[in-house]
Amino acid sequence: MKLINNLKVSKVLITGPDTKVSDLLKTMIENSISIAIVRDGKVLGTVSKERLEKIERPEEPVSQFINENVITVTGDEDSLYLLSLLLKNKLDCLVLTKRNKILGALTLSDLLYSIQKRAELS
């Protein structure tokens, strides 16, 4: 995880929609990554490692299990606004982009960490 504009950002794995759930889960575990972004020219959705671990059909393509409700942010937004956006939309993460390039994901723990750090500096 790294800090961008005082935000803690989770590393993500970017994969295609036809990737098997079992293959994606294995890669996520090997690389200690908790969020995957599924794209095919554009972001199709996200999926968490926790969700993949519950799937009973591991040979199915990951596209069948993604959360298609995706919100992209630039990281220039206020941390509290981002937190409310995440919670209001019941998302695993917000996708952080700059100039149409995916930089990572902002998870609940990332945002809470950033808010805590900002409070400590005040």
pLDDT, tens digit, for every residue of 20-32? 999 999 999 999 9
Burial class (CB within 10 angstroms; exposed 0-12, middle 13-18, buried 19+) of 55: middle
pLDDT (0 to 100) of residue 114: 87
Low-confidence ranges of the chain (pLDDT < 70): 1-5
pTM: 0.86
Check if the beta carbon of residue 21 is closer than 8 Å to that of residue 60. yes
What pLDDT score does 112 carry?
Answer: 92
Task: Give the per-residue pLDDT at 3.
Answer: 53
Structure tokens at 116: 């805590």
Confidence (pLDDT) at 41: 85
Counting DSSP H helices and E strands in the chain, the numbers are 4, 8
User: Would you tell me how many other CB atoms lie within 10 Å of the CB of residue 80?
Assistant: 12
Residue 111 has a pLDDT of 92
pLDDT computed for residue 92 by the predictor: 92
Question: Strand 93-98 and strand 101-107: pairing?
Answer: antiparallel
